[in-house]
Structure 1
Amino acid sequence: MGSRLLAVAHAPTAATRTARFPLDEDELSPVPELGPLSRRLTWATSGPERRCSTTASVLGVNASGDVAWADLDAGRWSGKSLEEVVATDGAQALQRWLGDPAYDGHGGESVAALHERVRGSLDLHEGDGLAIVVTSPAVLRALVVVALGAPAEAHRQVSAGPLDGVELSRERPGGSGWSLVRLRPYPQWLQARDLADDRDGGSA
């Protein structure tokens, strides 16, 4: 039996609704009625942010927070709107961030560094069956790019938002070569049932 990973983006927050760079303590706005997730899980984790742990709880998933699955670190731009970034750092800085995956002029993490972190997290994943990680839209984009072997420049060509889901698979646990199975919006990933689910054992 191979490994499968379901990555789910946290539910909407005030930051996602207003195009603001998030803060770790951002809360869901409002708290949605989602769950419970009926798919059989062998392992569960989430990003360390409150919005991720709360989304996992609403899904009825017992997930421990892990910094390896944290959102992109926006440095001093955290909590700011795009207009505020332009006012403090200039439009050119924002354009460089949008166009250059290596840009880290905000003092945080570049998109390219996020991809390397996600790649490392995938490489360390062990065990078979279906695992879930509740994380951020930025991490979902990185997962798609890494699984496809695409350049980091493709990051912003991947559409992923709150409550979207990405499913990856790997033929043998501990191996390499994750494949993109599907990118599904909510509630498709929540309701999905397939033969592989029925073969999995365990629960979150």
Structure 2
Amino acid sequence: MDNKRVEDLIEMIRNRCLLNNVGGIKYLSVLFRSMDTDFDKRLSYRELNEGMKSFGLEIVKDDFKMLFDAFDKDKDKQIDFLELVAKLRPPMTKRRVDVINQAFDSLDVNKDGILSIDDLKIVYLTNAKRHPKFLSGEWTEEQVLRNFLDSIDTPGNPDGNVTREEFMNYYAGVSSTVDDDSYFDLMMRACYGLPNRGT
């Protein structure tokens, strides 16, 4: 496999996704669902190939075979959403990855590697009570917390639990819209009440 060629192809697809939608990762979920013509939540070789063509990307057969193999991490001849995102997620600096992990750790109260409503009830309830729909009486605390989880969960398939990888995927999309590492770090710390760097 020509790794440089595969990386160039992935970069081309990533750039196209980011051009189409500021959120990037959210757009990938739309793209994924449009390619998944048999609705099994996995992409076959044919589905990905046809999807890329409809996306305006003509990739020659040998290159496409290498690309499919690069996406198919578990080598089961199918690509699930997380495999696709893992390759197309915009790269981030160590500083950004570190602050995203700190934010996740601050929310994961029981340290099981999954964010659930029970975690958020302990550490995020004050924020939930300031949500406009809670203040208006339209939503309960639980609905506000579930909405927060669903916004970060795998798009199109929210299950009420957010893994570290899903959290990282979401913020990789946010990260792609923020040029400055310091500003991204500051934004994450303010959002999740994390201590400032060096304190």
| TM-score range relative to shorter protein | under 0.3
Q: Report the TM-score when normalising by structure 1.
A: 0.26
> Whose relative contact order is higher, 1 or 2, with alpha carbons under 8 Å and at least 6 apart?
1
- Bigger-Rg structure (1/2): 2
